[in-house]
Structure 1
Amino acid sequence: MTFEPWSATSNKLEQAPAYYSPTQGELLLVVARDAAAIFVAYLIARSMGVQRFLMVVDRTPVAPPPTKYLTTHALKERGWTATMIAALLPHHDAARTAYVQLPGKALVKLYLRTRVEEVELSEEFLIEQERATKARARRGTAARTAQHQALLKQCVQRFRPSYVWPERWCQRSDWQLSLVDVQAFYDRWALKFTEMGYSARQRVLDALHEKNRRLFSKRFPGVTPGPQRPAKLKKPATKSPPLPYGL
């Protein structure tokens, strides 16, 4: 609880001790944390002869004191994984019942904070953390690969060429027109492939051309697909590093 005078003439807030005696025309600002402190401040202000004062509750959040034990959930928030806990903290230090009763009534494992902090400073923790990071990256790569495969399958399944073209295109062969249809279909799906790399997008286009070759041979049995080969995707241009000023 603090007492601070506020001058009505200068509008300047200055620090003052608890025994500050305000002059006439000044407003006493009292900052307290709870109702009990506000009541005490009110009594002190009246005893000081203050006629005008302002009560303000200090709502600054107070950090809770560190707990003695850490739960498994708290460890994971600190960067631990289940594998790291099993390897570096194989035995828990205490246990308690869960606040929410779940089926099986499993106890919540508790680990001493001092023990956890000591392990986090060891080299074994850094090694396990690096392994966990690499494993997480591999899982992310596998998930993206599976997603790309699902998108490739969906794209190829949707490709159903009709092999019917306007008469004004008769100057081209049927095979050339089918290649144009494949490229046009791929361009319509191109926005869905923005997160895929060049090789993955090329696999999608190759799969479309392979399906087109099979369907074209079935639709035109006497026509040999070709000789024009399907076009490849253009590789993204790589930015060359800037040359030094001396060159």
Structure 2
Amino acid sequence: MSFLKKLFKKEPVNHKVKKGLETPVEEIKKEREGYVSIGRSIFPVIKSVDDERIKMSQNKNPIIMEPIAEGIVKCYVLDMGDKFEMISQSHLDQFNFDREIVDNTAMRNLTDRFNERNSVSVQDFSQQNTESKPFYKLEMDANYPPSMMLVDEFWDNTVQQIVKSDTIAVSIPAKNLLFFSDMKLMESFRTMKPVAKHMYDASVQDNIQLTENTYIRKNGKWILFLDTPEQMEELW
């Protein structure tokens, strides 16, 4: 059994207290025949704080979000298969959602999706630049690689075993991409950053860009990489 399957237990539904997650979403997805289970369709996503949908929602119907690190927040989506709808306050009200249950359910669904298909591929550019060192790319369902930043167990165990380091650098240039490297292996880190920048620029025309930022995982927290001597000394 994958370690991620051990992380989240499916709690029995107390129908006397909450029925929101069992409610069909026919009202939301009228064009689809049959029903969609809300409880299986909620996923966590990472968004830039500059995301236009987040900004536009704040006055009338705020999107539910939580800060992750400087510049990025955790939100939730209803995955309808052919489109996504970000969960807002109106969803909590309409379907009697409890925010904690939404979070637990979303994380359960993410880990289930991860367990269905995942791998880590090596990104090796040494033929183009002999001084470069490989970095890594997380391969899973195309919609959710950045969301795995939210799963502590993945970073504090699996990834540390891969990179042999507890100071991990992550780039999430697009909604379907997550790269990581050992920050202290500077040849690897310095190879990853321009590749991530190129992928961010390439994703803009498809409107799937996420952020040009790089984040460092240190002591179980995500920190925005500032590229200053003071921060480098602190991280080292």
Which TM-score band (shorter chain)? under 0.3
Q: Higher relative contact order at CA 8 Å, sep ≥6: structure 1 or structure 2?
A: 2
Q: Give the TM-score normalised by structure 1.
A: 0.24
Q: Is the radius of gyration larger for structure 1 or structure 2?
A: 1
More strand by share: 2
Higher helix proportion (structure 1 or 2): 1
